[in-house]
Amino acid sequence: MTTEETVSLAPTINLIAQLISPIVGILVAGAVGWLAMAWQKYTGIRLDQQALDRIEKAAATQAGVMVAKAADNLSNTTVTVKNPMVADAVRSIQSSEPKAIETLGVTPEWIAAKVAGEIGKLQSNSAPVPEPHPDLKNAAPIKVAS
């Protein structure tokens, strides 16, 4: 057999691949949609990335507000989900994002965990506020001549 007698299958395979690729894409997209509907039907939880992003952003904002209000940036404070400041943050998120909470079906405890986690992130990125030396706590301020 000589090389003039061989037939290349590359054009045929390329044609088949061009026909199959969109079909596979449509099937995968349909399967993902079907799985999301089945998940919601059996768990009652709707998968919605935008709602999750809104709650996570609100939790980060509330955590930032709490850290900014604290005199020591909360660097010397252990913040848990039971902390009253976290409870206030949860109430604020519940009032500002009711639709996102309803869409995801999340609990106040879940939101509190998000807020506490965001505070932990901020604490790990901030330097602790040093305590003044005991001898300088009640010292008179230094006056600078002008």
3 state SS of 132: coil
Supply 5's token pair: 């007698």
Q: Which residue has the higher pLDDT, 117 or 134?
A: 117
Supply 12's token pair: 């045929």
CA nearest to 111, candidates 126, 123, 100: 100
Centre a 10 Å sphere on the Cβ of residue 58 and count the other Cβ atoms it contains: 23
Q: End-to-end distance of the chain based on CA atoms, in angstroms? A: 104
3 state SS of 21: helix
Q: What are the pLDDT digits (tens) for 77-126?
A: 778 888 888 999 999 999 999 999 988 889 999 999 999 889 888 877 76
Percentage of the chain exceeding pLDDT 70: 81
Note the pTM of the prediction, 2 decimals: 0.56
CA nearest to 54, candidates 85, 93, 105, 95: 93
Contact of 116 with 81, CB cutoff 8 Å: yes
- Which residues touch 67 (CB under 8 Å, ≥6 apart)? 73, 74, 119, 122, 123, 126
User: Average of pLDDT values for 7-24?
Assistant: 83
Q: Can you give the pLDDT at residue 58?
A: 95
